Amino acid sequence: MLDFDALNAYLDNDRDVIYAVLSTYQEDHGNSLEEIEELVQQQDWDKLHFTVHTLKGILASFGEDTATLALERVEQNTLNKLAPQENDLSIIYNEVKIINQQINEVLSTY
């Protein structure tokens, strides 16, 4: 779940910048869940590593910590050519779904 206080502080409460950042997230990462699921099925650990690394970075900058920790563990596993743990994937799927809903709600109010 996103920490909007941290996000607002990080972006100096600038509504235009917040809108731009969230819109960019939605464009670049709005389909990350589907991409992660597909890469796990394909067992493409190199691409999965890159995908979770990128997603982890942006979510950390938004003040998110639950999915970020699970993404970090998946990132480390895939770096070592190991399959991600099902528990971590479950956390990622649940949390990123909520985050995407939060972002959609915020963007709909602009």
Beta strands in 40-96 (DSSP E): none
CATH number for the domain that contains residue 39: 1.20.120
User: Of 92, 102, 33, which is closest to residue 68 (Cα–Cα)?
Assistant: 92
Pick from 47, 13, 52: nearest CA to 33: 52
Say how many domains are in the chain.
1
User: Which residue range is the domain that position 56 belongs to?
Assistant: 4-108
What type of residue is 12? D
The pLDDT of residue 51: 97
Task: Tell me how far apart the alpha carbons of residues 69 and 60 are, in angstroms, rounded to a whole number.
Answer: 9
Q: Which helix (H) or strand (E) holds 13?
A: none
> Which residues of the chain carry a pLDDT beneath 70?
none
Copy the structure tokens of residue 53: 């690394």
The structure's pTM equals 0.91
- Specify the pLDDT at position 42: 98
